Chain A
Amino acid sequence: DQQVKQNSPSLSVQEGRISILNCDYTNSMFDYFLWYKKYPAEGPTFLISISSIKDKNEDGRFTVFLNKSAKHLSLHIVPSQPGDSAVYFCAASDRSNTGKLIFGQGTTLQVKP
């Protein structure tokens, strides 16, 4: 059973506009959520995270919003740039100390010039 879901396989936006990537989860024991970005032929790189005690975290053009009651998080990229074109994965960690993450299926973002 998929505990972390990204229901949109792909998203296309115009350069300069906002990109919104969505992620849903089922396990209320998750305490941290992370977003990763992956270019082809490279490993995923960490973008931004949020603790379950917060509802928003911002880092430059990237903002993550967490809605615990809806078990939903979203990544906003403003303004979007062509270099943002990549696959984005959301991930969640539980309260164990193993460092284990559970990843969603990924969303491919294309930013058109």
Chain B
Amino acid sequence: DVKVTQSSRYLVKRTGEKVFLECVQDMDHENMFWYRQDPGLGLRLIYFSYDVKMKEKGDIPEGYSVSREKKERFSLILESASTNQTSMYLCASSPPGGQGQPQHFGDGTRLSIL
């Protein structure tokens, strides 16, 4: 079974802090994704990566950056956390190519910015 592991289930940070969310997958997937989930808005794509050191902006990249130095690890960085970044963050991975390959998700990080 595919395992996507997010480093923290719950995180509380202060406004202005630099925040790192880590995600590791064990299935050698090329594609990795970061989403945030907010009530009534569904899952919105922040950034994705289709290869090591490659990254693409999603629909809501402002205020975020990402790092993919190794194939199995994809990090989301909040450069200067703000209260409107309080949310559930979900990481996912999938094999290469399109054709409806399902993404496999981690259990999420509930991030609160105070």
Hey, which bits of chain A sit against chain B, CB under 8 A?
6, 9, 31-34, 41-46, 49, 51, 89, 91, 93-106
Contacts and interface: CB of A to CB of B under 8 A. Distances in A.
B103 A101 contact: yes
Contacts of A41: 9, 107-108, 110
Given A43-B108, A44-B90, A31 B43 contact: no
A45 B104 CA distance: 7
Nearest to B108: A43
Given A9-B40, A98-B56, A99-B31, A46 B102 contact: yes
8 contacts: A31-B98, A31-B100, A46-B104, A49-B100, A93-B99, A93-B101, A99-B50, A99-B94
A102 B4 CA distance: 20
A103 B106 contact: no
- Prevailing SS type, chain A contact patch: loop
Interface string B34-69: 010000111111001010000010100000000000
A105 B4 contact: no
Contacts of A51: 100
Interface residues of B, number: 34
Interface string B63-106: 00000000000000000000000000010101111111111111
A36 B64 CA distance: 26
A99 B42 contact: no
B31 A43 contact: no
B102 to A, nearest CB: 4
Contacts of A93: 98-101
**Best-surrounded residue of A44, A45, A95, A106 (most CB of chain B within 10 A):** A44
Given A43-B90, A43-B108, A94 B98 contact: yes
B42 A98 contact: no
A34 B50 CA distance: 20
B41 A43 contact: no
A35 B94 CA distance: 15
Contacts of B50: 98-99
